[in-house]
Amino acid sequence: MPREGILVTNPYERITEEQLKQIHLASLQILIDPGLICFSKQAAEIFNDYGAEVTTDSSGGRPCWQIKIPPKLVKEALDSAPKTVKLGARNPDNALIMKGDEPRVYFISGSETNIWLDVDFPSYVKKSDSSVEIKVPEFHPRRGTVADLCQSAHVCEHLETLDGYIRTVNIQDEDITEDNKDINKFFASLNNTTKHFMSGLTKLEQLDNVVRMAELIAGGKEALKENPIISFITCLVKSPLQFVADTTDSFIEICRRGLPVAVSSSPQAGTTAPIKEAGIMAQINAEVLAGITLGQLVNKGTPMLYGSVPVRARMDTLGDSYGSVETSQYNIDCVQMARFYKIPNYSTSGVCDTKIPGQQASIERLFSDIVVTLSGPQFLHCAYGLLDCNAVFCLLQAVLDDAHFQMLKFFLKTPRIDTQELDGVLKQIRETVATPRKLYISYIRPMLRSGEISPPYPFEGDGESDHVFALAYQRMNELLDKPVEHIDKDTTAKIFKEIPGLLPRLNFYQERK
């Protein structure tokens, strides 16, 4: 049985069916005029082979091609892209089944940050009264390591609401090189979570090693096809409208291997896309359609997610403003566009502008988490633990986020209002009104332990004190103390034998000796 996620019964929609069609037509126009600039020779050749208008453009000094994609190719790609995508998992019960027309939401971590935020709780004594001592969290940023990645996968394995794992931190140990980064990040993650794992690829040359590792874990080539325990995310189109050479080449190879891939685009409204909603939507949709079209031309039927990470620019720095309200609007629009095409959507929420956990982080995160979830994306990259846009990951924040998603999941439960239920409550009302105290309390009890009553906020303080961080920190350590189901000994041995470049310290069985 796959994970259930949460089915949004009446998804929130910002734009009408007519407006969706208008955006679609505008995107088709963009794909013809101005079309895309392509820095990948392979991609240009593929488009050329299938009848797109491809012209060489040497004006910029770098070899590149101007590509105009006709609507016919886009339509064929949209027809052949699977409408249901399965993302498997080491534990098959953690598989995710995503149907493009079903607003069933799965909550996923991510993305890769450079900075890991440690938490400490030093004591402070009040100047005017030394008997008063409080503990206040301090946050210490540092470069992420492979041990951090293991730790975050470990905690994410135990976060109840988290359905799948996108690597959270860029591994920057001294012995990590561009050549061994991919295999180590895939192994570190897969060895510490039994949930689905999605990642980007640093070096195309490592793709076969990564796929071979996944085959060994899944039980063979066919088993991996049946249960794709890994998937990839690629930002092959850089906004505005440019196929990037290396990512596009990686994308082509991933499609050739038939593994699931999120075709993602991340334009910034105001700088790399128009600030107007209609403008960024027409452009991002064109960029994603271009990617889907290329992928389907490479290998018809490759499972794909309509990936969207639109964001508005900050007006003070022109950096990303994930906490802005418009960012959520764009994301919801993209969810609707993907559903319009019946292709499962990879959407974004929960990324915030603030650098440390606190009130601003909670407000920014919760706002986008709630509104984007309500629109019903299938694969919601809701960024457990992510801070400072995409720069910082904090495990404590991930634990706090899990509590928010528990509330959100409870809120989205399908209401039960039917004849049988109403008959029961009418009986309760009549019985209770006839008693002297007129209290319904006795009817609560059967529901107390059935999960029908939402639990209290797990980190609430006693009385007037706020212990949220301290309690979440305690919870985080409890989760770290829980065991993790590592890849079994034989498979680990095979992986270390066959795949070059793995760090010996990641071999759990060798380390235990």
CA–CA dist 150, 156 (Å, integer): 10
Contact between 446 and other proteins (CB under 8 A)? yes
Identity of the residue, 23 or 468, whose beta carbon is nearer to other proteins in the bound complex: 468
Q: How far is the CB of 431 from other proteins (least distance, A)?
A: 12
Identity of the residue, 60 or 446, whose beta carbon is nearer to other proteins in the bound complex: 446
Identity of the residue, 429 or 439, whose beta carbon is nearer to other proteins in the bound complex: 439
Give the range of 178-186, 336-344, 437-445, 500-508 binding other proteins by CB under 8 A: 437-445
Strand, coil or helix: 31: helix
Give the range of 151-159, 233-241, 444-452, 479-487 binding other proteins by CB under 8 A: 444-452
Applying CB under 8 A, which of residues 444, 460, 482, 485 lies at the interface with other proteins? 444
Contact between 445 and other proteins (CB under 8 A)? yes
Give the range of 97-105, 178-186, 391-399, 435-443 binding other proteins by CB under 8 A: 435-443
Give the range of 128-136, 149-157, 308-316, 434-442 binding other proteins by CB under 8 A: 434-442
CA-closest candidate to residue 97, choices 199, 105, 289? 105
Identity of the residue, 33 or 462, whose beta carbon is nearer to other proteins in the bound complex: 462
240, 243, 247, 250 alpha-carbon torsion, rounded to 10°: 150
Q: How far is the CB of 471 from other proteins (least distance, A)?
A: 13
Q: How far is the CB of 448 from other proteins (least distance, A)?
A: 6
Identity of the residue, 61 or 436, whose beta carbon is nearer to other proteins in the bound complex: 436
Q: Judge contact between 385 and 117, C-beta under 8 A.
A: no
Q: Judge contact between 298 and 46, C-beta under 8 A.
A: yes
Please report, as residue ranges, which positions from 60 to 119 form the binding site for other proteins (by CB under 8 A).
none
Contact between 442 and other proteins (CB under 8 A)? yes
Where are the alpha helices (H) located in 67-162, listed in sequence order?
71-80, 146-158
Contact between 433 and other proteins (CB under 8 A)? no
Q: How far is the CB of 107 from other proteins (least distance, A)?
A: 27
Q: Looking up tokens 């019985």, which residue turns up?
A: 431
Contact between 436 and other proteins (CB under 8 A)? yes
Q: Judge contact between 280 and 313, C-beta under 8 A.
A: no
List the structure tokens of 165: 């794992």
Number of amino acids touching other proteins (CB under 8 A):
10
Identity of the residue, 415 or 436, whose beta carbon is nearer to other proteins in the bound complex: 436
Strand, coil or helix: 431: helix
Contact between 513 and other proteins (CB under 8 A)? no
C-alpha distance from residue 424 to each of 278, 428, 429, 433, 512 (Å): 50, 6, 9, 14, 58
Identity of the residue, 275 or 447, whose beta carbon is nearer to other proteins in the bound complex: 447
Identity of the residue, 417 or 441, whose beta carbon is nearer to other proteins in the bound complex: 441
Q: How far is the CB of 135 from other proteins (least distance, A)?
A: 23
Helix axes 325-341, 17-32, angle to 10 degrees: 90
CA–CA dist 81, 398 (Å, integer): 33
Q: How far is the CB of 419 from other proteins (least distance, A)?
A: 23
The secondary structure of residue 303, as a DSSP letter, is: -
Q: How far is the CB of 449 from other proteins (least distance, A)?
A: 7
CA–CA dist 506, 266 (Å, integer): 33
Identity of the residue, 456 or 483, whose beta carbon is nearer to other proteins in the bound complex: 456
Contact between 136 and other proteins (CB under 8 A)? no
Applying CB under 8 A, which of residues 1, 315, 417, 441 lies at the interface with other proteins? 441
CA–CA dist 472, 480 (Å, integer): 12
Identity of the residue, 446 or 483, whose beta carbon is nearer to other proteins in the bound complex: 446
Identity of the residue, 14 or 467, whose beta carbon is nearer to other proteins in the bound complex: 467
Give the range of 37-45, 298-306, 445-453, 486-494 binding other proteins by CB under 8 A: 445-453
Give the range of 108-116, 441-449, 477-485, 487-495 binding other proteins by CB under 8 A: 441-449
Applying CB under 8 A, which of residues 439, 460, 477, 505 lies at the interface with other proteins? 439
Where are the alpha helices (H) located in 53-205, listed in sequence order?
71-80, 146-158, 181-190
Q: How far is the CB of 445 from other proteins (least distance, A)?
A: 5
Beta bridge partners, 116, equal: 142, 393
C-alpha distance from residue 475 to each of 118, 426, 470, 483 (Å): 15, 41, 9, 14
Applying CB under 8 A, which of residues 437, 464, 483, 511 lies at the interface with other proteins? 437
CA–CA dist 157, 165 (Å, integer): 8
CA–CA dist 42, 248 (Å, integer): 9
Angle at 102 between CA 98 and CA 104, to 5 degrees: 65
Angle at 22 between CA 19 and CA 23, to 5 degrees: 90
What's the distance, CA 179 to chain centroid? 25
Tell me, residue by residue from 448 to 477, as one string, x for binding to other proteins by CB under 8 A and - for no binding: xx----------------------------
CA–CA dist 193, 197 (Å, integer): 8
Identity of the residue, 362 or 432, whose beta carbon is nearer to other proteins in the bound complex: 432
Identity of the residue, 16 or 442, whose beta carbon is nearer to other proteins in the bound complex: 442
CA–CA dist 379, 104 (Å, integer): 9
Give the range of 86-94, 285-293, 417-425, 432-440 binding other proteins by CB under 8 A: 432-440
Q: Judge contact between 461 and 474, C-beta under 8 A.
A: no
List of residues contacting other proteins (CB under 8 A) = 436-437, 439, 441-442, 444-446, 448-449
